[in-house]
Amino acid sequence: MARVESTNHPCFNSRVKHRSGRVHLPVAPKCNIQCNYCYRKYDCVNESRPGVSSTVLSPEQAAFYFFELKRENPWMEVAGIAGPGDALANPEQTLETMRLIREKLPETTFCLSTNGLMLDEYIEELHELGLRFLTVTMNAVDPEVGKDIYGWVRYRKRGYRGIEAASLLLEKQLSGLEKAVKLGWHVKVNTIIIPGVNDGHIEEVARTVAGLGVEIQNCLPLIPVKESAFGELRAPDAQMTKTVRAKASSYVHQMMHCGRCRSDAAGLVGKKTSDQVIDFLSYVRNLPKDMAEERKHFAVSSQEGLLVNLHLGETRSFHIYTADSKGIRFLEKRTAPAAGNGDARWEELAGLLSDCRALFTVSIGGRPEEVLASSGLQVYKVQGLISGILEAYNQGEGLKQYARLPGFRAGKGSGCGGTAMGCM
Ligand code: SF4
Ligand code: SF4
C-alpha cells in the first residue's frame, strides 16, 4: 500500500474522498511566475480549472470561515491554500492564515499548493506551523522544455526570462521538494500535459520526482485559456492523457480522481461546493477584514422575532442572529440595559453588542447612534421581515426597500422616528 493511502487527505488518498473533505482558503491573490497557460484574471491553473475567479479573503476572514465550516462539518479535515495566485507568492497571508487556525485548532491537517519558487525559503516555517501535505506544480525537469512553458519568473525583485527563468524555477523546485521529502511530508507533484510542448517529457518528470521521494503525481490535461500564450494550443485528447499517465505510473503513483477544484472550493472532492457554503463565503468576504471573528452576529429590535418593528429606546431585549454555513439563524435574546443614566446606558449597550456587526432597528436617537457607531457597530434604520433584511445585508445588497416607511410613528428627535422618549 502506498504511504499516501494511510492519510485522511482526500486528494492524496482516493479511499477517503467520500468521507473526508477539504476547504480551500483563498488568501493568496498574487503570483511570482507566468505560466504560458495561465491568464491571471482567473485562478491558478496549476491547481484549478481555468476560467474561474475565486473570492479573496484576509487571513482573519479565512480562519473564521474555516472554524465555522469545521464546526458544522467536522468531516472537513483539510485546510488548503491553493491560490487564487501562488500560496508562497503571498507568504504573509498564507503563514498568518495557518497561524490563526493552528492557534485554535492545532490538530488541523494543512495542505498547500505552490509553483515551488519560494518553497525552500519558507519550508521551515511551514513545517513549524504543521504543514504535512504539499503539492508542487512541475511541468519540466529540463530548462530547454521549461523555457517554452514559463513566460517569466520574478525572484527577489528581479525578473528572469527564457532559459534563465526556467533554470531558476527548476533549481528551486528540486531543492524544495528534496527538503519536503526529508521532513517527512506527503508530497504530490502536479504536471500539466501540454501537447507538443512537454507531453513527451512527462515520463522524465515522473522519473525525477520519484527519485526524490515524491509519492504521487497528478497529470492534468491542459485546458487552453483563450487569453493565455497557449490559448491556441489544443487540449490533449483522452488517448494522450492515458498514455502519459501510464508511462508516468511506472515511476510514481498517479492521481486519477482530481476534481480541478476552485481555489475557494469546500466539501468533498468531486462534489460541487454547496450553495449554502458559497453564500457563507460571500458573507465572510463582506466582513471587516481584521475583525471577522469578533463581530459575527447581528442585533435586531423586535417585539416577537419576526419583524424589525421597535425603536431602539423601546427595545427591552435584542434578538441576536448569526450567519454560518447553514445560513442565518437565531442565536439568543439579550436584555437591554435599563433606561436612564445618559451615555452610560449606550456604552453598556455597546458592550452588550460588542460581538455584533450590525444593529437593525426602526429608529434611534442621535446620541445613542453616535455612541454605538463609535464602538464599531453599524446601525441600520429599517423595518420589515427580519429574515429578508438579514439575507439582503448578508448578500451585500442594499436595504433601501426596508427603509422605514414615512409616517411610521413620526417623532421629535433628529434622526429618530419614535417618541423621542425611549432613548432618554
Ligand atoms: Fe498562473 Fe498558477 Fe502559473 Fe502563477 S503559478 S502563473 S497563478 S498557473
Ligand atoms: Fe484535490 Fe485536485 Fe481539488 Fe486540488 S484540485 S483539491 S488536488 S481534487
Taking the centre of ligand 2 as the mean of its atom positions, its distance from the CA of residue 24, in whole angstroms, is 9
Name the nearest CA neighbour of 132 among 102, 104, 112.
112
Give the ligand whose atoms come closest to the C-alpha of residue 20. 2
Mutate to test the pocket of ligand 2, among 9, 12, 20, 22 (most ligand atoms within 8 A of CB): 22
Ligand 2 binding pocket (C-beta < 6 A) is 11, 22, 47-48, 218, 258-261, 269
Give the ligand whose atoms come closest to the C-alpha of residue 271. 2
Look up residue 261 and give its DSSP letter.
-
The predicted structure's pLDDT at residue 405: 60
Q: Report d(CA 343, CA 281) in Å as an integer.
A: 37
The predicted structure's pLDDT at residue 406: 52
Ligand 2 nearest atom to the CA of residue 113, by list position: 4
Ligand 2 nearest atom to the CA of residue 259, by list position: 8
The predicted structure's pLDDT at residue 418: 41
Q: Report d(CA 136, CA 385) in Å as an integer.
A: 50
Ligand 1 binding pocket (C-beta < 6 A) is 31, 33-35, 38, 44-46, 85-86, 115
Taking the centre of ligand 2 as the mean of its atom positions, its distance from the CA of residue 258, in whole angstroms, is 5
Mutate to test the pocket of ligand 1, among 27, 32, 33, 138 (most ligand atoms within 8 A of CB): 33
Q: Report d(CA 209, CA 202) in Å as an integer.
A: 10
State the Cα angle at 278 between 8 and 376, rounded to 5°. Answer: 110
Give the ligand whose atoms come closest to the C-alpha of residue 113. 2
Please give the distance of CA 215 from its chain centroid, rounded to a whole number: 26
The answer to whether residues 143 and 171 touch, using CB atoms and an 8 Å cutoff, is no
Sign of the Cα torsion 133, 137, 141, 143 reads negative
Name the nearest CA neighbour of 424 among 335, 314, 302.
314
- The pLDDT tens digits along the chain (424 residues) read 456 566 778 888 878 777 788 899 999 989 999 999 988 776 666 666 655 656 889 999 999 889 888 877 888 889 999 878 899 999 999 999 999 999 989 989 999 999 999 999 999 999 999 999 999 999 999 999 999 999 999 999 899 999 999 999 999 999 999 999 999 999 999 999 999 999 999 999 999 999 999 999 999 999 998 889 999 999 999 999 999 999 999 999 999 888 777 777 887 777 777 877 887 888 888 777 775 566 789 999 999 999 999 999 999 999 999 987 677 899 999 999 988 878 889 999 999 998 998 999 999 999 999 888 888 788 999 999 999 999 888 766 678 888 866 544 433 333 444 443 444 4
Q: Report d(CA 220, CA 216) in Å as an integer.
A: 13
Cell representation of residue 287? 466582513
Q: Report the SS3 class of residue 403.
A: strand
Mutate to test the pocket of ligand 2, among 45, 78, 81, 218 (most ligand atoms within 8 A of CB): 218
Q: Report d(CA 289, CA 287) in Å as an integer.
A: 6
Across 43-164, the runs of DSSP E, i.e. the strands, are 76-81, 109-114, 131-137, 150-155, 158-160
Ligand 2 nearest atom to the CA of residue 190, by list position: 7
The predicted structure's pLDDT at residue 58: 92
Which contacts qualify for 396-402: CB closer than 8 Å, 24 or more apart? 396/282, 396/286, 402/308
Name the nearest CA neighbour of 49 among 274, 232, 264.
264
The predicted structure's pLDDT at residue 251: 96
The residue whose CA has the least distance to atom 1 of ligand 2 is 11
The residue whose CA has the least distance to atom 3 of ligand 1 is 35
Q: Report d(CA 189, CA 115) in Å as an integer.
A: 10
Q: Report d(CA 418, CA 410) in Å as an integer.
A: 6
Sign of the Cα torsion 14, 19, 20, 23 reads positive
Q: Report d(CA 132, CA 110) in Å as an integer.
A: 6
